[in-house]
């Protein structure tokens, strides 16, 4: 049975200020943390054991996910005192797995900031059929200039990892979900800072090891910026808004624009909430008017407050403009 590693330890600098109090993978999308969406996807693929590779704000993961039994999974936690980069994090997290009992079972690695509906089960099957060392999910984008691109041959074998360029040779990019043969992870030195994308994958390809690209054009979004996070949340919401259990909305309030409300959110009389992401246990008082705002959990929005494009949190003295 394949096991999974979730990379959740980055600083998420492009998502500031949203990541000043929460790691990027714990930010809510349609009411649930990005990581929880990924755990549910891993579960659908038959994965039962997951290691969360934590570093920045590591302490927030265990209280939320515990031992994983709520999802009928086994969840373990690896900690890097200083972030080890994506490759170093994978090597460190792999140390939590029992390689003897794993045998040849593949290890599936998820970038912790990607929403993807591709079939992880089919990706694993493709990887095994090709006897690959590593298999990356590849996605075609309209304009690959902003990304590194990943050309493959007719068999799907990766021929190079190319940095960003003005005239990309292919529109296929790394979609951030990898399947590894366990032996490959031994090639990464334990405790060193290593980038899987910039060091490990190019080195594997250069040394002639079998690295494959699995192409599936499913819904896919990297939620690495505030605009992308809001889009990801809106994409998952059917209807005008989504509210988690325990939330209450006064009949005179208006909630629209595919806003997402966490657990136990109260929207009081005459309040207007448009295109917002609201965390758990937030109280929005009478007549407040928020548009395209991110409200961190446990915050009270005072009566009559009017804000557009702001990050609001009880632990910061002044709201911060969203980029
Ligand atoms: P930016 O600072 O905005 O680039 O975001 P980031 O720090 O999250 O980096 P990036 O988007 O490249 O990371 C991809 C995924 O890997 C994210 O889910 C990160 O949480 C995770 N990640 C990045 N660096 C590390 C690291 O050093 N350790 C661990 N455990 N995870 C990491």
* Domain CATH number, residue 293: 2.160.10
Global pTM reads 0.95
228 occurs within a structural domain: no
Active site residue 164: yes
Residue 268: which residues within 8 A CB-CB, separation 6 or more?
250, 253, 283, 284, 285, 286, 287, 288, 303
- Note down the domain range covering 163: 3-222
Report if residue 10 sits inside a domain: yes
Length of the chain: 323
Same domain, 289 and 193: no
Residue 198: which CATH number?
A: 3.90.550.10
Separation of CA 252 and ligand 1 centre (Å)? 42
Number of Cβ within a 10 Å radius of residue 246: 13
Give 186 Cα–ligand 1 centroid separation in angstroms: 21
Residue 227 falls inside a structural domain: no
Residue 95 lies in a domain: yes
Are both 81 and 205 inside the same structural domain? yes
What does each of the 323 residues of the chain score in pLDDT, given as a tens digit?
Answer: 899 999 999 999 999 999 999 999 999 999 999 999 999 999 999 999 999 999 999 999 999 999 999 999 999 999 999 999 999 999 999 999 877 677 889 999 999 999 999 999 999 999 999 999 999 999 999 999 988 899 999 999 999 998 888 999 999 999 999 999 998 998 899 999 999 999 999 999 999 999 999 999 999 999 999 999 999 999 999 999 999 999 999 999 999 999 999 999 999 999 999 999 999 999 999 999 999 999 999 999 999 999 999 999 998 878 899 98
Nearest residue CA, atom 18 of ligand 1?
Answer: 112
Give, in order, the Cα–Cα distances in Å from 274 to each of 31, 63, 290. 15, 31, 6
> Which of 15, 19, 86 has most ligand 1 atoms within 8 Å of CB, for mutation?
86
Structural domains counted in the chain: 2
| Helix segments in the chain, DSSP class H | 34-44, 61-65, 85-94, 99-102, 120-129, 182-185, 201-206, 226-236
Answer whether 279's CB lies under 8 Å from 298's CB.
yes
Residues 89 and 180 in one domain: yes
Residues 105 and 161 in one domain: yes
């Amino acid at each position: 049975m394949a096991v999974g590693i979730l990379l959740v330890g980055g600083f998420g600098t492009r998502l500031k200020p949203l990541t000043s109090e929460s790691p990027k993978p714990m930010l809510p999308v349609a009411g649930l943390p990005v990581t929880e969406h990924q755990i549910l996807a891993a579960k659908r693929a038959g994965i039962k054991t997951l290691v969360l590779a934590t570093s920045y704000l590591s302490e927030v993961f265990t209280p939320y996910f515990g031992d994983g039994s709520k999802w009928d999974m086994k969840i373990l936690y690896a900690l890097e005192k200083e972030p080890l980069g994506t490759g170093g994090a994978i090597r460190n997290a792999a140390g939590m797995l029992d390689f003897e009992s794993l045998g040849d079972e593949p290890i599936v690695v998820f970038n912790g900031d990607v929403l993807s509906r591709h079939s992880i089960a089919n990706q694993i099957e493709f990887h095994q059929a090709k006897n690959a060392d590593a298999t990356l999910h590849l996605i075609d984008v309209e304009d690959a200039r902003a990304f590194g691109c990943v050309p493959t041959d007719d068999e799907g074998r990766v021929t190079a990892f190319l940095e960003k360029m003005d005239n990309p040779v292919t529109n296929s990019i790394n979609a951030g979900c990898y399947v590894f043969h366990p032996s490959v992870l031994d090639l990464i030195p334990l405790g060193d800072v290593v980038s899987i994308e910039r060091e490990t994958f190019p080195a594997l390809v250069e040394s002639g090891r079998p690295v494959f690209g699995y192409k599936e054009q499913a819904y896919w979004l990297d939620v690495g910026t505030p605009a992308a996070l809001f889009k990801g949340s809106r994409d998952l919401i059917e209807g005008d808004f989504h509210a988690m259990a325990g939330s209450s909305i006064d009949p005179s309030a208006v909630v629209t624009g595919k806003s997402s409300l966490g657990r136990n959110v109260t929207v009081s009389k005459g309040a207007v909430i448009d295109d917002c992401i609201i965390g758990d246990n937030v109280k929005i008082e009478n007549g407040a008017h928020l548009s395209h705002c991110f409200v961190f959990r446990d915050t009270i929005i005072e009566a009559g407050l009017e804000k557009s494009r702001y990050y609001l949190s009880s632990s910061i003295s002044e709201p911060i403009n969203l980029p």
